[in-house]
A and B are shown apart, each in its own frame.
Chain A
Amino acid sequence: MTTATKPAQGASPPRARGDVRGARRLFVIRELGIALALVLLVAVTTISNSRFLSAQSRKDLMLGATILVVLAVGQTIVVITRNVDLSVGSVLGLSAFATGKLFLAMPDAPIVLAILAGVGLGVLCGAVNGALIAIARVPALVVTLGTLYVFRGLDYSWAAGQQINAADMPSGFKRMGTAVVLGVPVLALFAVAVLLIAGFYLRSYRSGREMYAIGSDPDAARLSGIPVGWRVFTAMTVSGALAGLAGVLYAARFGTLDAAAGTSIELNVVAAVVVGGVAIFGGSGSVYGAALGAVLLSTMGAALPVLRIDPFWQQAVVGSLILAAIGLDRALTARIARRLRGRRARGA
C-alpha cells in the first residue's frame, strides 16, 4: 500500500510486492533529498558563521519552523485529498487575535482554555470551508480563496485597529513561548506531536488511507464506498483546527498581536507542502516530507541574513525551489511508471 502506485489502482493487474517497495524507496529518497538539502544549507551557513548553530540560534530555528510545520501538516492532509486550503493564514490571524482577546477578558484563564478556544475557532472556520466544498460541491480553491477574504475581513473588523501587546498576556502563557525542555522549545514540541499523530493516522488508519484513495481518483473512491464528502469535510476541519492551533502558538511566540497576523503565509505553506513532495493533485506524499519542506523554507529564511545575502533574493529562491521540486517529482513518477511497466512486461 504505497501512495505512488495508487493512480494505477483498479485498472491495472495485481502487482508484485517488489514494485511497491521500489516505488516507496524512491519516495524515501525524495524525502532524504530534502533532508540532505537542509543539512547542506545548515552546514554552509555554519561554516560561514559558527554561531548559526549556537544554543540560542538552534532554539530560534526550531521556533521559526514550528508554525509553518503545524500549518503544513494540516495542508498536507487537505492536498492529499486533491483539495487545497488557502484560508489558513486568515484562520491563524483570527485565532491569534482571539487568544489575545481571551486573555484581555480573563487574565487568569488557563493556557489549556486558550488552546481549546483557538482550536475550536479553527474547527469552526474549517467546517465552513468543508461544508461548502462537500455539500455545495464547490472547488476548494475558490471556496478557500473566498474565505481567505472573509475570515481576514472579520478579523479586521473585530480588531478595529486594536493591538494586543505582550504586556497584556499572562506571564505563564508568554513563558510557554520561550520555555525549553531538553534543548527543544515547548512550542516546537507541539509541532512534533501534531506531526507524529498525523503521520500515524494517515499511514495506519483505514480512514487515513482512504484520504489517499480520494486524492488519486475521487470517482473510483466514491464507487468503492468511501464516504468522500465526509472525508473531505474532515480534512478541511482538521486543517482549520491546526491553523487555529498555529494561531495560539503565534500568540505565545510573538506576544504582540494585531489583525494582520499570518497575512499571506498560505503561500509559504503551499510552497512547503509542494517542496516536501506532496503532489498538488492529490493521492501522494507524506506529512513528514511536508514538515521537512517547512523546516527547509524557514531555515532558509533565517540563513539568508546570516549569510548576508540580500534578503530580496529570498522570495525568488522560494519560487525556484517550488519549480525544482515539482519538476523533480515529475521525473521521479515517470521513473516509477517506467519501472512498473518494465516489471509487468517481464512478468507477462
Chain B
Amino acid sequence: MRAIRNGVSLLTLSALLLTAAACASDDGGDTPAAGGDASAGASGEIKEGLSVAFLPKQVNNPYFTVSDNGGKAAVEEFKGEYKEVGPSEASASSQVSYLNTLTQQGSDVIAVSANDPNAICGAVKQARQGGAKVVTFDSDTNKDCRDLFVNQVTAQGIAENQVKLISDQIGGAGKIAILSATANATNQNAWIELMKTELKKSEYSKIELVTVAYGNDDDQKSFQETQGLLSSYPDLKGIISPTTVGVAAAARYLSGSQYKGKVVLTGLGTPNQMREFVKDGTVKNFALWNPADLGYLAAYAGAALASGIITGKEGEKFTAGKLGEYTIGPDSVVVLGPPTVFDASNIDQFDF
C-alpha cells in the first residue's frame, strides 16, 4: 500500500518535473556557442550570432516591454540571438539570480536596467569575468561595475525641459509640487535636484516648489498621493511627475476631479497612456524619450562592445543602425538624445 501511495505522489511530481524538463530542453537547445562561431569584425562590423539578453527591472512592465522589443528589433538586424529574462517583481536580489544564470549560460551581451545601483554590482562583475559585455540602460549601476551605460537623456536635459513646460503653462508664477517614483529612484532624484537648481534661475523666481511626493511607481499609491497633494495645498498651480506611472495616475485623478483644467500637470509619460488626457484637456503636454529607441541603442552598444568596435572609453564612436552614429561620453555613458515633447498636435504619430 505504501508503494502505491508513493507511486501516486511520485507520478504527480515527476509528471510536473518532466513537463518542466521538456520545456527546458526545448529552450536550452538553441543557445548558441558563446560567440565562438561569430565571424570577427574588428574593422567596425558587428559580429553575427551574438547572444544578447535583456534583463529589465521587471518583466510584465509595459515600459520595459516596449524598450526590450526595441532591443529585439536591433538584435534581429545584426542577426544575433535575442532573449528577455527577468523577475516578476522589481527587486534587486532577484535580478542577481538572473545575472548569475546568464553568466552560466555564457551570454555575450547583457543589457540590464538596475533595480539597485549597488546590489547587482557583484553579479555584474562576475558576468564580465565570465566573458559577457554588460550594458546598463534606463537605470545605471555604479560606473565601475558595467562596461557602458546607455542613458535615455541627460539629467540636465530633463530638468530644463520639465521646468520649462510647467512654467509656460502656469504663467511663470505659483506653487508647484513634484510627484516622483520611489524616494531612492536614482533617475528621479538626480532630475529633481537639477530641477531645483533650474528653478533658482531668475526667470523662474516666482515659482515655488512646495513638496516632493512619492507614489512609489505604484498606480494606486500615485493616485492617492495626487489626491493628498491637492487637499494639502489648496493653491497648488501645477504638478510635475517625472515618471510614467505617476503622471498617468495623476492625470486620471485630475480628469475625474474638480481640478481638471485648473491644476496644470506635466511630466514624463507614454503617448498611449496619456492620449486620452491630452484629448480631454486635462494635460496640455508632456515629454519622454522613445523607450523602443533606448532598447535599440542598448543592443547596438552591447554588440559593438562584444565585436571589439568599442571598449567603452570616452570619445569612441559606433553606429547604431537607423539611429546613426553615437559617441561615448565621460564615465562611459552614451546619451540617446533630447526628450520629445508630446501634445495634441503630434501625439497620434506615436504608438508606444
Q: Could you tell me which A residues sit within 8 Å of B by CB distance?
A: 49, 51-52, 54-57, 60, 64, 156, 159-163, 165-167, 177-178, 254-256, 258-260, 263, 301-302, 305-306, 308, 311
Q: For residue A177, which residues in chain B have a CB less than 8 angstroms away from its CB?
A: 256
Of B42-50, B100-108, B150-158, B224-232, which binds chain A? B224-232
Known A49-B232, A165-B272, A305-B224; contact A255-B60, beta-carbon cutoff 8 A: no
Question: How far apart are B59's CB and chain A's nearest CB, in angstroms?
Answer: 6
The answer to whether B224 touches A64, judged by C-beta atoms less than 8 angstroms apart, is yes
Contact among A52, A55, A57, A260 with B60 in the assembled complex (CB-CB below 8 Å) = A260
How many A-B pairs have beta carbons closer than 8 Å: the answer is 77
> Quick one: which of B231, B257, B273 has the most chain A CB within 10 A?
B231
**How far apart are the CA atoms of A224 and B61 in the complex, in Å?**
53
A255 touches B227 (CB 8 A): no
The reply to whether B62 and A162 form a contact with Cβ atoms under 8 Å apart is: yes
- A254 pairs with B252, CB closer than 8 A: yes
Which residues of chain A are within 8 angstroms of B272 by Cβ–Cβ distance? Answer: 165, 167
Residue contact A165 to B231, C-beta cutoff 8 Å: no
Total interface residues on B, CB under 8 Å, equals 33
Q: Is the CB of B231 within 8 A of A52?
A: yes
| Cβ-defined contact, A308 with B60, below 8 A | no
Select A161's contact among B62, B273, B275, beta carbons within 8 Å: B62
- Do most interface residues of chain B lie in helix, strand or loop, or is the interface mixed? helix
B248, CB-defined interface residue at 8 Å: yes
Interface centre among A56, A64, A305 (most CB of B within 10 A): A305
**3 nearest A-B pairs in the assembled complex, by CB-CB distance:** A305-B228, A163-B62, A161-B65
Q: How far is the CA of A100 from the CA of B62 in the complex (A)?
A: 15
Complex contacts, B232 vs chain A, CB 8 Å: 49, 51, 305-306, 308
- The reply to whether the CB of B214 lies closer than 8 angstroms to some CB of chain A is yes
Q: Which residues on the B side are within 8 Å of A64 (C-beta)? A: 224
Q: What residues on A are CB-neighbors of B64 within 8 Å?
A: 161
0/1 string, B210-247, CB within 8 A of A gives 1: 00011000011001110111111010000000000000
Q: Are A256 and B231 in contact (CB under 8 A)?
A: no
Across the interface, which residues of A come within 8 angstroms of B193, CB to CB?
Answer: none
Q: Cβ of A308: which chain B residues have Cβ within 8 Å of it?
A: 232
- CB-CB under 8 A from B61, the residues of chain A are 161, 258
Contact of B231 among A49, A160, A166 (CB under 8 A): A49
B88 interfacial contact with A, CB 8 Å? yes
Interface status of B276 (Cβ within 8 A of chain A): yes
- B114 at interface by CB-CB < 8 Å: no
Instruction: Tell me the complex Cα distance, A306–B228, Å.
Output: 5
Q: Is the CB of B258 within 8 A of A165?
A: no
28 inter-chain pairs at a CB distance below 8 angstroms, sorted by A residue, are A49-B232, A51-B234, A52-B231, A55-B258, A57-B227, A60-B227, A64-B224, A156-B60, A159-B60, A161-B64, A163-B62, A165-B272, A165-B275, A166-B273, A166-B276, A254-B219, A254-B220, A254-B249, A254-B252, A255-B252, A256-B248, A263-B89, A302-B224, A305-B224, A305-B232, A306-B228, A306-B231, A308-B232
* Nearest-neighbor residue (CB-CB) of A263 within chain B: B89
Tell whether, in the assembled complex, residue B225 and residue A256 are in contact, meaning their CB atoms are under 8 Å apart: no
Out of B65, B234, B258, which one reaches A162, CB within 8 Å?
A: B65
Per-position 1/0 for B42-80, Cβ under 8 A of A: 000000000000000001111011000000000000000
- Least CB separation from A162: chain B residue: B62
Instruction: Give chain A nearest CB distance to B254 CB in angstroms.
Output: 11
Cα(A113)–Cα(B229), bound, Å: 36
Measured CB to CB, the nearest residue on chain A to B66 is A161
Residues on the A chain within 8 Å of B224, using CB: 64, 301-302, 305
Report Cα–Cα, A308/B257, bound state, in Å. Answer: 22
Looking across the interface, which residue of chain A has its beta carbon closest to that of B228? A305
- A56 CB contacts on chain B under 8 angstroms: 230-231, 257-259
Given A56-B259, A64-B224, 14 new contacts (CB under 8 A): A57-B227, A161-B64, A161-B65, A162-B62, A167-B272, A167-B276, A178-B256, A256-B273, A259-B60, A260-B60, A305-B213, A305-B225, A306-B231, A308-B232
Q: How far is the CA of A277 from the CA of B220 in the complex (A)?
A: 27
**Distance between Cα atoms of A51 and B258 in the complex (Å):** 13
Report B-chain residues with C-beta under 8 Å of the C-beta of A178. 256
